[in-house]
């Protein structure tokens, strides 16, 4: 049998005022005449984001949810070129440690998905440099939380720049510029426009990176429709990971907006995937990418409880019979 654990992304829809991504633009920062006062305000916003994250984790624990994606926007302007003298970690280390301690106590898996502008295969050296800098921020956050950084950041391959083969090889070349500590943190995901499951597997197998299979992306963009033929290879990319295999599940918003995420998950579509992989792995952690966040997870579980081909474990987990 295979155990399935569901998770969701960043913000709770069940809780009030539960966005851990409150922001401050550099334009807003500049309007505050006293620079030190402006930095203290940044720190207060970041501290609020971290405290909201802790509140969400407590909500997750009460709801028996064991898998959660942290927002990459916990600390606004952390890497801004005009704020390089700001040591943002020192005033936030205690609050971050509290988040990590709670997650570990609850045995909750947490990870990140840096924004789309993190592009390792860019032909622009400055973009690559900034991408590595952003990934380093994620490494610092994980370390401050006391969380083992190995395989905690999922990202896309990047752009195809009108030449997919060269862009794949450029990823390999630029990967050598990425510090080993950051390399160990990365997982790669197939996307819905540029790099298929086969393309992403090529990199993952060559570089020893786990592949996070996005089922919706594959349906939107593939070379070979029968993804299950490659499933054993996907599983093998996780062979040396301390974490269970991970995948992404979302549903098309509509036939005309197929690539866009729907508010909820089409449970029948999800189970078409699960039936194919049943028994191939002891556990799979499935990150729900839906507009309704945790509400979408609860709705999936309501649907799952009506099925006869599963055994319910708790509020977010079940066994495939």
Distance in Å from the first CA to the final CA of the chain: 6
Residue among 189, 234, 232 at smallest CA distance from 212: 189
Q: Residue 224 is encoded by which pair of tokens? A: 């070979």
User: What Cα–Cα distance (Å) separates residue 22 from each residue in 81, 104, 283?
Assistant: 20, 25, 34
pTM of the model: 0.96
Q: Across all residues in the chain, what is the average pLDDT? A: 97
Q: What three-state secondary structure class fits 3?
A: strand
| pLDDT tens-digit series, residues 265-305 | 999 999 999 999 999 999 999 999 999 999 999 999 999 99
Class of the CATH-defined domain 1-106+244-321:
alpha beta
194-244 confidence digits (pLDDT tens): 999 999 999 999 999 999 999 999 999 998 889 999 999 999 999 999 999
Nearest to 68 by CA among 58, 83, 81: 58
Question: Domain extents for the chain?
Answer: 1-106+244-321, 112-211+222-230
Helices (H), 63-145: 93-105, 125-145
User: pLDDT (tens digit, 9 = 90+) per residue, 241-256?
Assistant: 999 999 999 999 998 8
Burial class (CB in 10 A: 0-12, 13-18, 19+), 218: buried
Q: How many angstroms separate the Cα of 116 from the Cα of each of 76, 120, 127, 306?
A: 16, 11, 12, 37
Domain 112-211+222-230 has CATH 3.20.20.150: yes
Per-residue pLDDT, averaged over 70-75, amounts to: 97
Assess whether the region 1-106+244-321 and the region 112-211+222-230 belong to the same CATH fold: yes
């Amino acid at each position: 049998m295979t155990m399935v654990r569901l998770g969701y992304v960043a913000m709770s829809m069940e809780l009030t005022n539960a966005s851990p991504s409150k922001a401050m633009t550099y334009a807003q920062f500049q309007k505050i005449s006293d620079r030190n006062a402006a930095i203290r305000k940044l720190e207060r916003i970041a501290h609020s984001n971290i405290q909201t994250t802790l509140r969400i984790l407590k909500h997750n624990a009460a709801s028996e949810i064991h898998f959660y994606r942290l927002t990459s926007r916990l600390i606004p302007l952390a890497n801004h070129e005009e704020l390089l003298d700001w040591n943002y970690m020192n005033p936030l280390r205690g609050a971050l440690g509290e988040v990590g301690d709670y997650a570990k106590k609850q045995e909750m898996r947490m990870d990140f998905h840096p924004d789309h502008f993190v592009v390792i295969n860019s032909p622009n050296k400055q973009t690559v440099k900034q991408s590595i800098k952003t990934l380093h921020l994620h490494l610092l956050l994980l370390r401050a939380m006391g969380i083992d950084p190995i395989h905690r950041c999922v990202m896309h391959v990047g752009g195809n720049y009108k030449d997919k083969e060269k862009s794949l090889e450029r990823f390999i070349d630029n990967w050598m510029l990425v510090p080993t500590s950051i390399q160990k943190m990365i997982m790669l995901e197939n996307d819905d426009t540029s790099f298929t499951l086969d393309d992403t597997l090529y990199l993952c197998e060559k570089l020893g990176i786990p592949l996070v299979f996005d089922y919706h992306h594959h349906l939107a963009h593939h070379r070979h429709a029968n993804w299950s033929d490659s499933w054993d290879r996907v599983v093998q990319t996780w062979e040396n990971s301390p974490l269970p295999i991970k995948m992404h599940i979302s549903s098309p918003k509509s036939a005309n907006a197929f690539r866009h995420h729907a508010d909820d998950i089409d449970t029948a579509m999800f189970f078409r995937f699960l039936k194919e992989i049943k028994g191939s792995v002891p556990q799979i952690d499935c990150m729900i990418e839906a507009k309704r966040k945790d509400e979408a997870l609860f709705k999936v579980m309501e649907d799952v409880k009506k099925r006869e081909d599963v055994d319910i474990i708790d509020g977010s987990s079940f066994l495939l019979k």
